[in-house]
């Protein structure tokens, strides 16, 4: 998770609660809350229209994000979610945040059509 998040164009990592908790940002906005490599869960932004799809596909592993229940975020337990789907969740989270950024704050290398 950490490597995929960090590899995104313009991604910046922050550790506001200590080294075991990573917050990934692009353009100053959070796109992922990820624990260290031993962590079992993370939180990712999601297109509001896709939230029900993800939660129904993985009812035991994807659900409302704690403290962010009124926002378009999913809490994800990694074990039990297919690797390709985890990659898609991360990519989609990053994409959602980049879409919301003013064009001047979008990172070089980001493709709105991807």
Q: What is the pLDDT of residues 41-85, one digit of tens each?
A: 899 999 999 999 999 999 999 999 888 877 899 999 888 899 899
Domain presence at residue 28: yes
Q: State the DSSP string of 45-105.
A: E--GGGHHHHHHHSTTTEEEPTT-TTSSEEEEESTTS-HHHHHHHHHHHHHHHHHHS-GGG
> Which residue range is the domain that position 93 belongs to?
2-75+85-105
Domain presence at residue 21: yes
Domain presence at residue 111: no
User: Domain tally for the chain?
Assistant: 1
Domain presence at residue 110: no
CATH value at residue 8: 3.90.1150.30
Indicate the pTM of the whole model: 0.90
Q: What is the pLDDT of residues 7-51, one digit of tens each?
A: 999 999 999 888 888 999 999 999 999 876 666 789 999 999 999
Domain presence at residue 80: no
């Amino acid at each position: 998770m950490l490597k995929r998040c960090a590899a995104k164009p313009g991604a910046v990592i922050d550790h506001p609660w200590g080294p075991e908790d990573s917050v990934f940002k692009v353009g100053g906005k959070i796109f992922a809350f990820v624990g260290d490599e031993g962590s079992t869960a993370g939180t990712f932004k999601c297109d509001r229209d896709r939230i029900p799809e993800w939660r129904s596909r993985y009812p035991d592993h994807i659900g409302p994000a704690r403290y962010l229940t009124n926002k378009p975020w999913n809490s994800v337990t990694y074990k039990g979610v297919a690797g390709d789907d985890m990659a898609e969740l991360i990519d989609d989270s990053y994409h959602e945040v980049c879409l919301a950024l003013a064009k001047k704050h979008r990172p070089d290398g980001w493709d709105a059509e991807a």
